[in-house]
Structure 1
Amino acid sequence: ISLIKKEIETFISSYNKSLQQKDKNIKISDIKIQKNTLSLNINSQGIFRPHNALLQLKNSISKEFGKKHKLGVREIKINNYDIQFDLEKKPLKNVTIPFADVKFKEKQATISLNNIDEEFLQKNYIDRMINLVNEKVENQYYEGKGEFWKLIWESGEKKPIWTKDPTEEMTKLDWLKQGPTKGKWFFRPQATAILKTMEKIAVEEVLKPLRFQEIIESNLVPFDIWLKTGHLEGMPGEFYYISEPATRDVEKWERFVDLIKITKEVPLEELEKNISTPAAGICYAQCPVIYWSFKGKTISEKSLPVLVYDNTAVSGRYESGGRHGIERVDEFHR
């Protein structure tokens, strides 16, 4: 492109003027052309963002010089990109985010990015990073605060018929057995009969009179569903993740099996070699898969509300603390 250096410089100068007609606070400077590389700086203190200006410039260059010189932009590389923006509140402490360094000065934040490409810009990561910094600063003012609630209505006080701990009493009677892993329970026939009776009352006396219909949903939830519902960014530390076998090839699993036969223990390092990175998790709540089932469907207003319930999926939630009996567990039966 050095052969048409003057022509390109003139075009960029003209493009810069057209930008400043829209926003006088943006400027393209330090234009350099060496062989097949065009370098420049874009600075903006207005509403027009430098990365948007850069993407538009790329398209304009291809359009202007494509037919005339068979010239286009092969790739975009950004060596350094500093983004400054104001915050509503002064940060109480530093924050970190992926892909960038974050610094604060009073109520101003600066995000510094290095060595990013066009894909990074096209996928709108920058806006999400700005929102993430704002969100993290805002959350600093709510961390550790008590739960807020407002009483709307309450029934009259009722005297409990029985006040003992059900878990403790049923364990004494051998109706329950804790395990086989933490936060889970084995319900023997007597305890199961009690739960099934409670379930029958809920279905017959509440759900059916309200015209709810039963459905059966998958117990496994792929990441793309949790991405859309927001669960994956909201509570990733509470899921039980699922890994599929990387292969069914008997030879690949031979050493794993041999180690078990010899040691009578699970060789975890060998297992890791033969399983895939998780791409799904055990049901956390029933609603995400129900939402997914309506993907691509149009529901008329007269069909609302959609009244369905699931009675089969078992929810898994990693409760790091606060487990108690059969009331607060990692595994929820319906």
Structure 2
Amino acid sequence: MKFLLSGTITFNKNAEDAKEDIAKFIDEANENILLKGVKEGNESEGAKITDWNIKDNELSIKIESGSKVRSHDGLLRIKKPLTQLLGKKYHLGIRKLHIDNYQVIIPTGEGKYEINHQLVRSLPQIDDFQIKDNYVIVTIKDITESEIRKQGVNRIIKHISTKKEDVDESKKENYKENINAAGEPSEDLNEKDLTFSVTKITPGEIIARSGEFQTYFEGDVTEKAIELGWIKTFPGRGQWFYGPQMTALQRAFEKILIDNIVEKLGFDECLFPKLIPIPTMDKMRYLDGLPEGMYYCSAPKRDPEVFNKFKNELAINREIPMDLLKSGLKDPAYVLAAAQCEPFYEFLSHEVIDEKDLPIKFYDKSGWTYRWESGGAKGIDRVHEFQRIELVWIDKPEETSEIRDFTLELSHELATKLELEWYTEIGDDPFYLEGRKVENRGIEFPDVPKYEMRLKVPGQEKGVAVVSANVHGTHFTEGFSIREAHKHTLWTGCTGLGLTRWLFGFLAQKGFDENNWPELIKNQYKKTKIPKILTWPKSKE
């Protein structure tokens, strides 16, 4: 890549008297400061001031560079030494740095970069985009010093470009075949997320499956549950009222999962917060991947006048004045827990752990998880609000992967004991990678970030996912600054046991007649009764 910068250095007063010293400084900067870190013989990868002019209190400057010392970094490099030089002799200080025009030339073609043209045209930060035979030119204008220091330019480049050799073509082809076989539309594989470059086994590949067991139900689980009064629709989209029978069955599954998986592996129960600060989600990189998949929460402002107006309008019109309500809310500061494991990483953030005290293994079953499924919500198998048991742990790399594998093996054993048909595949959407295109922090990733276990649903090609077993490598230990006392590497992992999904898969195979349920469920199921309501549940005509 090449970087062509036109910018301005503004001093606190007229600097024309310092012109001679500035000229000497620029010559020295081109020889030393702007080549620091560049190997001998690769000077073109460094930066160079190619033109400059001083007028009044402004130094106009042009910098050209390669990728090792990018022009905007070069501009920052010269600020301090230039200030030190001119401050003593001329009492000059630098008031601000500014990039007026910045062109980034990105090579394309064989072995170079793949550019997401649609994304480039959608980014408001990019002022111009030119496509040439074997390169593109991205132009960004009006960049402040603060924006330079935040490395916004580097992030834009990372966001829109992918090095072609980073994508394993054979893996892409295998994945494409797998996706098409599953009946999903094929997509531009160059637009796939980090799962491609991380996972060493083809995502979607089935790695284990159960034998066949007898099923007793045909039909739609959700419709039957409504008919029997086990659940009732709720005004909120993707939400349900779960009645006594469904709740009793969930409690039975909860007890069985804890007895047969969680406690066997020695996890300790905690109560995790479900209102998660947005900065926590940012450290998880969740905002980089699926910002559209969460519910955002705003606290009310301390503005009684706005809420008095709100109450008055509501009283008079009997319609909720949404504009007034919005004006009374602060900017979103929280999200409702979308992963459930978020508090674990905050609990360990900036802490030091001795490896002799590992592993640390917690689990939480204290409440709801929330995800916005957009148009994907349907029935009780794909909802916005659901319950699960979340296991999360930290250990040395090999041990972290072993714990994940144990949670999966015990899940297999339990499903087989319950005479449920299941299969496990390589996950194609690890929650901490989903939607993300780049990772530039040198994170260690496991060969398989995610395994997903599904219960078969009679009549459907795709089963319902009941277990998501993940290893994150150093993704969260780096993001939350979690350290080992001897500077050894620590990994984290989490396994989600989806209670709502277990219920759906169980009922889809075994039905609502208790006589067809396995003894393990019968022994834990507490019989209840439907309250007598004249108008509910609706009788089937």
TM over 0.5: yes
Question: What amino acid is the match of 1:194?
Answer: L
TM-fit CA distance, 1:116: 0.9
Alpha-carbon distance change, 4 to 299 in structure 1, aligned in 2, over 3 angstroms = closer
Structure with the higher strand share, 1 or 2: 2
Residue 19 of structure 2 aligns with which residue?
A: 5
Aligned to 2:28: 14
In the other structure, the counterpart of 2:118 is: 94
What is the alpha-carbon distance in structure 2 between the residues aligned to residue 190 and residue 63 of structure 1?
76
Q: Write the mapping of 1:313-324 to structure 2, written as runs, cut at 5 A.
A: 313-324=367-378
Q: 1:306 to 1:176 in 2, by over 3 A?
A: same
- Distance in 2 (CA, whole Å) between partners of 1:185 and 1:66 is 69
What's the % identity of the aligned pairs?
A: 32
Distance in 1 of aligned mates of 2:61 and 2:251: 71
In the alignment, which residue of structure 1 is the partner of 2:272? Answer: 217
Distance 2:150 2:20 in 1: 33
Alpha-carbon shift at residue 204 of structure 1 (Å): 2.0
- CA–CA distance in 2 between the matches of 1:103 and 1:310? 52
Is 1:118 the counterpart of 2:139? The answer is no
**What stretches of structure 2 of length at least 5 have no aligned partner?**
1-14, 168-186, 194-201, 389-541
Task: Find 1:141's aligned residue among 176, 189, 212.
Answer: 189
Give the 5 Å matches for 1:67-216: 67-87=88-108, 88-91=112-115, 93-96=117-120, 97-101=123-127, 102-135=129-162, 140-143=188-191, 148-216=203-271
Deviations 1:13-46 (A, max 9, x none): 3333444796643432332111111112111246
Deviation at 1:95, TM superposition (A): 2.5
RMSD after superposition? 2.6
Q: What does 1:194-273 correspond to in 2, within 5 Å?
A: 194-247=249-302, 249-273=303-327
Does 187-196 or 4-13 show the bigger shift? 4-13
Equivalences, count: 333
- Kept after mapping to 2: 8 A contact 1:90/1:107: no
Q: How many angstroms apart in 2 are the aligned matches of 1:20 and 1:323?
A: 55
Rounded Cα–Cα distance in structure 2 between residues aligned with 1:161 and 1:300: 52
Partner Cα distance (1:11, 1:144) in 2: 47
Query: TM-score by structure 2 length?
Result: 0.57
TM-score after normalising by structure 1:
0.90
| 2:196 corresponding residue in structure 1 | none
**Mapped partners of 1:65, 1:250: distance in 2:** 54
Cα distance change, pair 210–17 in 1 and its aligned pair in 2 (3 A): closer
Amino acid paired to 2:316: I
- Tell me, which stretches of 5 or more residues in structure 1 are unaligned? none
Whether contact under 8 Å (1:314, 1:331) holds in the other structure is: yes
Tell me the equivalent position of 2:73: 52
Using the TM superposition, name which of 272-281 and 4-13 deviates more. Answer: 4-13
Out of 29-38 and 89-98, give the one that drifted further: 89-98
Question: Aligned letter for 2:368?
Answer: V
Q: After TM superposition, where is structure 1 displaced by more than 6 Å over at least 4 residues in a row?
A: 136-139
Aligned to 2:433: none
Following superposition, the deviation at residue 317 of structure 1 comes to 0.9
- In structure 2, what is the Cα distance between the partners aligned to 1:221 and 1:67? 50
Q: CA deviation at 1:251?
A: 3.0
Greater length-normalized contact order (CA 8 Å, ≥ 6 residues apart) = 2
Amino acid at match of 2:323: E
Contact 1:223 1:281 in 2 (8 A): yes
| Whole-angstrom CA distance in 2 between matches of 1:135 and 1:175 | 50
**Distance of 2:230 and 2:349 partners within structure 1:** 43
